[in-house]
Structure 1
Amino acid sequence: MVSITLVRFTLFFLVLISLPFILNAAFRPSNALYRGGSLSVERPSVDVLISEQGTFKAGFYQVGQNAFFFAIWYAETLSHPTTVVWMANRDWPVNSRTSRLSFRRRGDLALLDTDDSVVWTSTNTDSTGAGVVAELSETGNLVVLDGEGRMVWQSFDQPTDTLLPGQPLTRAIRLVSRAAEGIYSSGYYAAHFNDDNVLSFIYDGPNTSSVYWPNPDYDVFKNGRTKYNSSRYAVLDDMGMLTSSDRLQFSAIDSGLGVKRRLTMDFDGILRLYSLNHTTKNWEVSWMPKLQRCRVHGLCGENGICFYKPNPTCTCPPGFRMKDQVDWTQGCQPEFDIVCNKTEVKFMKLPHTDFYGYDLNYQTKISFEACENICRSDCNCRGFGYRLNGEGNCYPKSILLSGQSSLLFIGDMHIKIPILMNFSASTVDQINLDCSKVYSPKKLNRAYAEGKAKGDYLKYPISFVIAFGVAEIICVAFGWAYFHKKTVDLRNQNQSYVAITAGFRRFTFEELKKATNNFIEEIGRGGSGVVYKGVLEDKRVVAVKNLEGLSHGSEAQFWSEVSTIGRINHMNLVTMFGFCAEKAKRLLVYEYLENGSLEKNLFSNGAMLAWENRFNIALGTAKALAYLHEECLEWVLHCDVKPQNILLDKDFQPKVADFGLSKLFDRGGNNISQFSRVRGTRGYMAPEWILNLPITSKVDVYSYGILVLELVTGQSSIGFQRISENGELGNKKLIPWIREMVRMNQNWVEEIADPQLFGMYDHSSMEILIKVALQCIEEERDVRPSMSQVVDSITVACLLDREMHDEIE
């Protein structure tokens, strides 16, 4: 009797547990919605359309506590928030109670709010009942088909801020940005074909509008476009290439089939092509235009100034304050009244600053005093820009919009203020606000509808089943814990070993001998030892370096030094997993980098590094050295910066190796400026080593400069052969040759650049990189910059000439 009761109870329990799955099966998602059907906001995880292969989903997407959009999004990314590619009601979210998408009998889709008011409808369908089914295609297009399978409406004709492959951009379509990060409503930036038939970016602000890309300072043809094609058509194909009727053409850096992509007008006014990384399931930028972010119009609003810190950052001039403390697009307002009487005004100078456009008039070859008087005498003039630059250009401004400040800008701005006010440009309050987050999301407050919502009748039985299931799980968990306590205790004895294998640990020599198959596969060799490839027991692939030439100090001292290196952690430094110290044996265990050393990728036959890879290597290496010199717990010099010690991962991101061996080899005392012998490699050594001068971090700066020159030229620092102007082949020394080119040749960047780049590099970034490298190799060490200064200089190059991976169109 007890056994029968137990069986019945078990069956009853299984039925209760299965109830949610049975209910969900009744509402199983598909890719189609038929006429007369609807999708409810109250079942957002169930009432959803899924494309045939599961790439896209369409349904209600929550944007507030009780606010929803009807949207289409990529289903398989790990990015947060979800990657929405289309919204039906981006500017009017519906309530979280009783709202629905209805496929009405008349044949159109209608989005109904809680009071049955129509928020959005697919207006391309007629009133005779043309549409019979709505389907979500694998391309991300939501289509309405008639009884013969002909398309009568598609979401591709009404994009919001995103184009998908195969989705055309035509004369009637505008890609409109979101207002800000986390705010899906329409923003101020759009990409569309203008009246000249040119695909352009436009700032459409509350008071003014202006085109900011392609460069408005140039005509259509100088920007590489044509206006003599009225078709106004652009499309992104499955290979990642966009072609446009105005001759605009670009490709993703990962061009090819099989990659999921999207072209999005982002809220900072930049159109970016994104590719989905199948490994990380995150989006990565694969193209963007040559457009400095501070040159996006209206980014900081009226009177606001954009500058790099190093990200684009907004500030107000002295005497001005933000209109809205959370919204930079509203700009700045003066804390004084603007007067018209020219005897009661003066001008405040803002060095290296400009406000684009809105010139009252434009004068050339006039004095500063004459330019100032023009603005002083005009009540509509808010300030003037003046550029001496050998010509004396004067720009009186009626509006101060699209302000930007940079040390590279040769002109100054002079803002009109009352004569009694005392402001100085040195008092500028540089508010550290990343312009990629223009303002904070504001929660939507929508009232709930009265009455019981549909589906409430399921709430209590489902809640009971969930509660019962949770209780059962808790009971099972306690039972499992009780009956397996002794087993767990035994396992705990080995947990420390298991945990330490995932981090920094001490290996035995036999472990490393087994991991390297008796040190059979050599992958590198240098002055400090030989490196072998190995595989640990946990399947991690590692590089094992057998150190040579170390003094036989105590094991405790060796442990102290190695543990210091083990605590150093930076994305551009090779990670050390552990070490071995047994008798005279000293080995270090590092992560394994798939693409090997920079030397192999730069100098070996057939090697070819793209410009964006080289720029990344220069910047990443600089960041690693800056960290070693200034940021880690102990001051560590590398002392042997060279291509052999720069390793590249699968994405060609740099990681500096052997960064701690200067400490391991130095047993002479605590003063790191005193070394018992010369360190480094011929061709990369600073003069201090030869002249027996005190050693500082500037020796690494010198070596870094040599490395960068090798990166940009593709030539060895020791020497190379070059054909002279008279056709003779001769040997050249890298540094004297580069200095001669810079001094004597007007087109020195083109002469110096590695021929293997085939001209596919950004000229401005290349020039800045070479100039920084030449400063790094100055003979006088005090003239050389610090590595943190090097990082700042290269970052400016990256920001001013756009991220390096998208510079080549």
Structure 2
Amino acid sequence: MGSAAAVAARSTSLFFFFCFFLFPFSAVAGPIYKSLTPPFTASYQRYIDNSGAGAFLSSPNNTFQARIANSDHGSSSYYFVVVHVYSDEIVWSANRNRPVSQSSPLRFTGNGLTLYDDSDHPIWSAPGNSSSSSSSSLLLLLESGNLILLDSDNNTLWESFDSPTDVLLEGQKLPVGRNLVSSISDRNPSEGDYRFVLTENDAMLQWNGVDYWQLSMTSTAFREKNIPVEYLVMNFSGVYLIGGNADQVVIKAVFRDSVDVSGNSSIFQMAKLESNGLFTITRAGRSENQIFAGPDDNCRLPESCGRLGLCTSRGSCSCVPAFHSDLKGECVPADGSFALPESCNPSSSPADGAGADGIKYVNLRNDLDYFSTAFSDPIAHNVNVSSCQNLCSKNCSCRGFYHSHSSGFCYLIWNSIGSFTIKTTQSDLVGYVKTVAVKTSDDADKKSDFPVLPVVLLPTSGVIAIVLVATLFWFRRRRKTKKQKSSKSGIGKYLSSAEEEIDIISIPGLPIRFTYQELVAATGDFGTQIGSGGFGTVYKGSLADGTEVAVKKITCLGSRGRREFLTEIAVIGKIHHVNLVRLRGFCAHAGQRYLVYEYMNRGSLDRALFHGDPVMEWRERYEIALGTARGLAYLHSSCENTIIHCDVKPENILLHDKSPVKISDFGLSKLLSTEESGLFTTMRGTRGYLAPEWLTSSAISDKTDVYSYGMVLLEIIRGKKNSSPQTHSNSSASDNNNRGRANGHATSSASSRESGTRLIYFPLFALEMHEEGRYSEVVDPRLAGRVPSDEVKKLLRVALCCVHEEPNLRPSMSNVVGMLEGGVPVGEPRIRSLNFLRFYGRRFTEASVLAENGNEPGESMAMYQQHGASGNTSSSYDSLSYISSQQVSGPR
């Protein structure tokens, strides 16, 4: 027995001996703690387990772990990280730029956390240089993923949420001044070239310091307040920029598929700045789902196809013209005698010592776009191509430039040059890439072979001949340059003699300037009219590249100054939103102004809604209501200056088969001169949609558009004009007559007597049905049985809230969007502020009765415009400006 025991003991000892030397890591793996107190030491070698994870601390539910780990299996570089266990995603790293070895220790003492290298030199510590005199006593990893250090009084000394890397977790705040920095790659967590930067105005994406995207560009983003941003936070409904002492939303970007995660701890959401510069938000539960990405077009990423690569809409990559791919797969000049300039010191000589004569600029195609021009300010205004080229040649950090012939804007490309893409809108910006001559070993010999002596010994007559030839060449070149300027570029290309009233003025952001001849050719000499109104007439056209456009000839600008006109055109031209019609360019000719817009092939909402066949379905109506609200919210909240449309109506809401609903004419109110302010009522609105404040000398604000939107929303629900006469069947004529007398409006007794019907003013009828809870009766009868009752109730209540008589009771358009999307509770209409509709309903009925008795609508209108509404508090209003279908500014 003793020998057997001895053999067994020796066998056990040998087993553990071999396990220790052959599998040392798994043999000595330490436990995973829920909390740590000093002193404590961890290393990858000490805490590695069978899965290869050096985890030593976990959150209460093991959702997150603190580990010493490598980002790539087999790598000898190790990092102190926090990992989301389910997805194995690193959400925070302490030493991303300074990796350590597997034996490097992390020590937790009363002074905090310190990570050392193999030489026992500290490379990272927390709380770092904190002025706190308290000692660290507890290290915790919260269920939110936040790693925190506490003192003995449970005061937080340090937290990982205050030092973000490339990831932002749900509930984590990103203050102004702190940024997310991308990793070099998925396998290398060192800092890359991309930044997610939070400023006081917006959240931006940058590549090497150059902006290429901002959060407010997102179609679901809305600016609520024009106040400085303080921090960014994300939850399961969207991304929010907060200001106003941390209690007001400045900008919000709402997720289209927001979910209720209450009680569901398995769902994890994070925002990450990817190594390629894409800002993504991913939600992981049972499956992983990317719910947000910016930019939404990968071709807008600075390095989507590498340096000088061309990204197409199909996602394919090639080199830009005049460049080809070398053996390394990089784009290089096709002309082998030139190369791309190397990095340089900005204080060194031009072109890396090549001299101005050694520089060659490669002209790119006119249809190529560069990601930064939409976000950069031009370095020079009103200059020609040569001047722009000289600015680039004088600085060795310049890699190329873009130049606009129409405005003379010059944009330089600094330090690094990225990818290009195809232009989505017409622009006369043309790109040029700098290349430098390749030096050869024969260059020095060629310099010494130059015949200096013969030149010195040339006779005087020879020198005179050379001077004469040079002078003649200079005059011919100057004459040719003038001719080119007058016929092909600059003023000559965009201005005829009749257009010199508007010369080239340096206005940042000015869109494309078309010649009158270009518009004549595009519109077939203005042969196809598609709309007209108070602002002018609209014609259909097709540009030389086949793009269909709508050309508006403006006829009511009065004595608008040329600089003011161009400045405001530049403002309108810079407004880009998926629910706003894009301004493509403009033209000035013989005292006339023309605006060129993108073409919407289905025309305006009034045609499709009131006269369309087949009937417009409810789902499309709801999407139109939501898209219109988003466009107005952008104008009110997300532009540099609030823009009030002043003429929201179905005629200015346009439809297209392949794009969302878009609002037109949103900037034309800015183009009216101050002399026309007295024409506000007749020039800046349409009867039937005018808010009460237009006619009472009250202040005009964005809430004026909200009222008009509410009236449009009622028409979307009904499928007819609010002011178009309509009969409504009554179960009891006497009951309705009693209601009419109680509400202060009259019914047609003859009509009621003969047919049991009454003429109605739809906004009043909608109010009555809301009061009685009979929402199904307000829907377009052509949609019977195909409309969700809860959505009808929602839209009707939103519409009534929008048409409150007092502007301050109306919701903002951003709140309207929130109500329609479901993120904001639907408001309750205030009956007191809607009683004015009863007065308009009575006037509408009386005007209709007069028309039935032989009076023309114009006579009825004149009668009530002259006499008003005596004995009613609303008598100061021109009631028929609410109930007439005659339009002042007309369709556009």
Q: TM-score, with normalisation over the residues of structure 1?
A: 0.44
- Which has the higher Rg, Structure 1 or Structure 2? 2
Of Structure 1 and Structure 2, which has the larger fraction of its residues in helix? 2
Q: Which has the higher contact order (CA 8 A, sep 6+)?
A: 1
